Chains A and B, each alone.
Chain A
Amino acid sequence: MSVRVQRDDFDIGAELAALSDGDTGIGGVCSFTGLVRDLHPQAGEGPGTVRALTLEHYSGMTERQLEAIEAEARARWPLSSSLIIHRYGRMEPGERIVLVACASAHREAAFEACRFIMDWLKTKAPFWKLEDTSSDGARWVDARHSDDAAARRWE
């Protein structure tokens, strides 16, 4: 099990390969990759609106929260291994922000645990997005009620 909070990009292929390397009891790896997008459907803004995102985080608490979320996933599902990588700093559209991956003997556990980790991460990990937009400059992204609802499903 592993949590990394870093400024640098990551190599999805290498990370997923490493997750199951040497464990032939693993039947499947499920992963989610979050990307910076350049549009803002909630605000009715189309492609090209978001020029960049800057992610701020609470160093120390971030790692603790992510480790607690990962531990909770491993308590709920039989995972052979798991990984959370979350970036901070400035990123442009198309760049990778987050990778969550779960490996298990069976696909069900891997799928569910991956979704659970993302849902809890969205509402518990102390990150904040500052958007640089072409419409009105820099603005902080608001939390979404739909994310709260998604996280509550697992409680």
Chain B
Amino acid sequence: MLKLLYFAWLRTKIGIAEERVAVPEGVTDVAGLIDWLRGRGDGYAEALANLDVVKVAVNQEYVPFTHPVAAGDEVALFPPVTGG
């Protein structure tokens, strides 16, 4: 299973903060996972339409879209950060 987390406007567009999914067949990296997520509904497609404004963390570390994903990973998708 993958633990997926969404924050800020990605969370509001997708409509949930967190979900658990089985690693989809053929998905080996973050880019593949995002492609698969886009097919799950309009909210996902809209939230993930422009990857220039999407950051990814796997197991709480920033990673590029080419980073591998595997069962047991925590994958978070969120906009560029605005703290401080």
- Pick the residue among B61, B76, B83 that contacts A55 (CB under 8 A): B83
B36 within 8 A of A: no
**Are the CB atoms of B76 and A141 closer together than 8 Å?**
no
Shortest distance in angstroms between B48's beta carbon and chain A's nearest beta carbon? 16
- Is B22 located at the chain interface by the 8 A CB criterion? no
Bin chain A's interface residue count: 20 to 34
Cβ-defined partner of A128 (8 Å) among B8, B61, B62: B8
**B21 at interface (Cβ–Cβ under 8 A)?**
no
The reply to whether the CB of B24 lies closer than 8 angstroms to some CB of chain A is no
B60 touches A127 (CB 8 A): no
With both chains docked as a complex, state the minimum distance between the C-beta of A88 and any C-beta of chain B, in angstroms: 9
Residues of B within 8 A of A97 (CB): 83-84
Q: Cβ of B5: which chain A residues have Cβ within 8 Å of it?
A: 58
Known: A56-B7, A140-B8, A140-B9. A128 touches B82 (CB 8 A): yes
Range of interface residues on B (Cβ < 8 Å): 10 to 19
B78 and A98 contacting across the interface, CB-CB below 8 Å? no
Answer yes or no: B79 CB below 8 A from chain A CBs.
yes
Q: Is A118 an interface residue (CB 8 A)?
A: yes
Q: Are A140 and B79 in contact (CB under 8 A)?
A: yes
* Given contact pairs A58-B5, A58-B7, A58-B76, A127 touches B57 in the complex (Cβ within 8 A): no
In the complex, chain B residues whose CB is within 8 Å of the CB of A142: 80, 82
Beyond A126-B81, A140-B8, list 14 extra A-B contacts (CB 8 Å).
A55-B83, A56-B7, A61-B57, A61-B60, A61-B61, A61-B76, A64-B60, A86-B84, A97-B83, A122-B83, A125-B83, A126-B78, A128-B79, A143-B80
A contacts, CB < 8 Å to B: 34, 55-58, 60-61, 64, 86, 97-98, 118, 121-130, 140-143
Question: Which residues of B pack against A, CB within 8 Å?
Answer: 5, 7-9, 57, 60-62, 76, 78-84
28 contacts between A and B (CB under 8 A): A34-B84, A58-B76, A60-B60, A64-B60, A64-B61, A86-B83, A97-B83, A98-B84, A121-B83, A121-B84, A123-B81, A125-B84, A126-B57, A126-B78, A126-B83, A127-B83, A127-B84, A128-B7, A128-B78, A128-B79, A128-B81, A128-B82, A129-B82, A129-B83, A140-B82, A142-B80, A142-B82, A143-B81
